[in-house]
Amino acid sequence: MVMFGITGDLAKRKLLPAIYDLANRGLLSPSFSLVGVGRRNWSHEDMVEYVKECVQNAARTPWREPMWEQLAAGMRFVTFENFEDDEAYERLAKVLNDLDETRGTHGNRAFYLSIPPNWFPAVTERVARCGLIDESPGSWRRVIIEKPFGHDQESARELDRLVARIVRPDDVFRVDHYLGKETVQNILALRFANTIFEPLWNSSYVDHVQITMAEDIGIGTRAGYYDSIGTARDVIQNHLLQLLALTAMEEPTSLDAAAVRSEKEKVLDCVRLGKDLSLTTARGRYGSGFQGGVKVRSYLEEDGVPGESTTETFAALRLTVENRRWAGVPFYLRAGKRLARRVTEIAVVFKQPPFLPFSSAATAGMGNNTIVIRVQPDEGITLRFGSKVPGTHMELRDVSMDFGYGASFNEESPEAYERLILDALLGDAPLFPHQREVDLSWRILDPVIEHWSQQGAPQTYRPGSWGPQSAIDLLARDNRVWRRS
């Protein structure tokens, strides 16, 4: 694996510990080699020490010296002045050829581009020019790229054209780390391995679906990245639309990548926005105030945010899926920072019974039956339904039946990047969005971004709340309310 951007924050916190954890679990070949690419003037030994520190700080599995020595023996570092340094690519080619001879990597190469998208043209052009991507008989070449996959539909297509210079479309692995989480994968198991849910998973029984990704923190030191992207591009275009696709898709013929991808693409192709985006979308940004007893700054007061910024830190959409299964069922998506708590969940809210033989007083404490899939934290599934309160008179109240991963399984869930890196090395891609999915996602979001660009500044909301008033109004127009997750 050739990792561009190995000294970055993502590699430090997630990628390098995940590689060690895979090796520690016996899931990497003994010949696996890691070549780091960066601007630091490091020797191979310097990189080994850096990776060791990252692993010891963040690895999930215990430290094992023999395993580490085996992994470290295959680590190399190549210094780049910048990504346009032609001589550095020649040095990289020599290192890779040496590893083929000394480690037995047989020409198999995965290029992990953990770099800003504006560097992709320079990297892909030079990787292609110096022959790094040329396949030899019996070997493979793959490219792994991190989101964002462009900033609109056209830029995403341009990115695809750049990567197509060096590998075939099926050898491009677009990382959406949410798709590697156990609870996201469990959506398929919940729906298609159980007969009690699937017959109800349609417009005859479902009233609406809410998909929430809330964070209780601000942007921190990410102003340079975040102010040019915003919440909608950062998480709705990828994470939340992927969760929608998994929730709404039809049963695939198998779990092969092509079969799962085909069903997700069909759903995304059916997604429609409301006719009046002023009424079916909402955006906001957090103001100053107190959260958890601590005074916090507004978005505009964060370091590096320009005073004239109109970037949103909260976004909500009302979407529909125009097919037979979901006709008439709205999907509400929301995401934001400095909200009441950190939570990512999918709530499938069912319709009220057409007739209740109880008095209105007896059912005053009852809401809609709901299945909640908790992606993070406290991963699991909650089923909410009505039950009689003990006593001499008839009174109904909502109760919960809860499944938690931590309570039901002894095994600790692997980190999402462990699964994603392993699947990329194996060439197995069911958890990676294909270019067609990315294209369809931008088709959905682009009109919203264009509409917002003409609306001025986002509405301010209080830190520790659940977003701006416009988001509450969005559901109130349909006589619904957001779940207090």
pTM for the structure as a whole: 0.87
Question: Beta 34-38 vs 75-79: how paired, if at all?
Answer: parallel
Residue 184, pLDDT above cutoff 90 = no
pLDDT at 213: 94
How far apart, in whole angstroms, are the C-alpha atoms of residue 229 and residue 313?
A: 10
Residues tagged active-site: 239
Which of the four pLDDT bands, split at 50, 70 and 90, describes residue 337?
very high
Q: Which range among 172-176, 181-185, 223-227 shows the weakest confidence by mean pLDDT?
A: 181-185
Q: Count of alpha carbons within 13 Å of 234, Cβ hemisphere only?
A: 23
Residue identified by tokens 């910024």 is 309
- 22-78 per-position pLDDT tens digit: 999 999 999 999 999 888 888 899 999 999 999 999 898 899 999 999 999 999 999
Q: pLDDT, tens digit, for every residue of 405-450?
A: 777 776 667 778 888 888 888 887 666 777 888 889 999 999 999 9
Q: Under a CB-based contact definition with an 8 Å cutoff, are residues 296 and 218 in contact? A: yes
Percent of the chain having pLDDT more than 70? Answer: 96
Extents of the domains making up the chain: 2-146, 179-411+434-476
Report, at the CATH architecture level, how domain 2-146 is classified: 3-Layer(aba) Sandwich (3.40)
Q: What is the mean pLDDT of the chain?
A: 87
The CATH topology of domain 179-411+434-476 is Dihydrodipicolinate Reductase; domain 2 (3.30.360)
Q: HEC states along the chain? A: CEEECCCCHHHHHHHHHHHHHHHHCCCCCCCCCEEEEECCCCCHHHHHHHHHHHHHHHCCCCCCHHHHHHHHCCEEEEECCCCCCHHHHHHHHHHHHHHHHHCCCCCCEEEEECCCHHHHHHHHHHHHHCCCCCCCCCCCEEEEEECCCCCCHHHHHHHHHHHCCCCCHHHEEEECHHHHCHHHHHHHHHHHCCCCCHHHCCCCCEEEEEEEEECCCCCCCCHHHHCCCHHHHHHHHHHHHHHHHHHHCCCCCCCCHHHHHHHHHHHHHHEEECCCHHHHEEEEEECCEEECCEEECCHHHCCCCCCCCCCCCEEEEEEEECCCCCCCCEEEEEEECCECCCEEEEEEEECCCCCCCCCCCCCCECCCCEEEEEEECCCEEEEEEEEECCCCCCCEEEEEEEEEHHHHCCCCCCCHHHHHHHHHHHCCCCCCCCHHHHHHHHHHHHHHHHHHCCCCCCEEECCCECCCHHHHHHHHCCCCCCCCC
Task: For residue 76, give the nearest of 102, 107, 115, 113 by alpha carbon.
Answer: 102
**Are 216 and 341 spatial neighbours (Cβ–Cβ below 8 Å)?**
yes
**Most trustworthy range by pLDDT among 68-82, 310-324, 376-390:** 310-324
Burial of residue 457 (number of CB atoms within 10 Å: 0-12, 13-18, 19+): middle
Q: Which two tokens stand for residue 94?
A: 């020599």
* Under 8 Å between Cβ of 463 and 288: yes
Q: What is the SS3 assignment for 326-383?
A: CCCCEEEEEEECCECCCEEEEEEEECCCCCCCCCCCCCCECCCCEEEEEEECCCEEEE
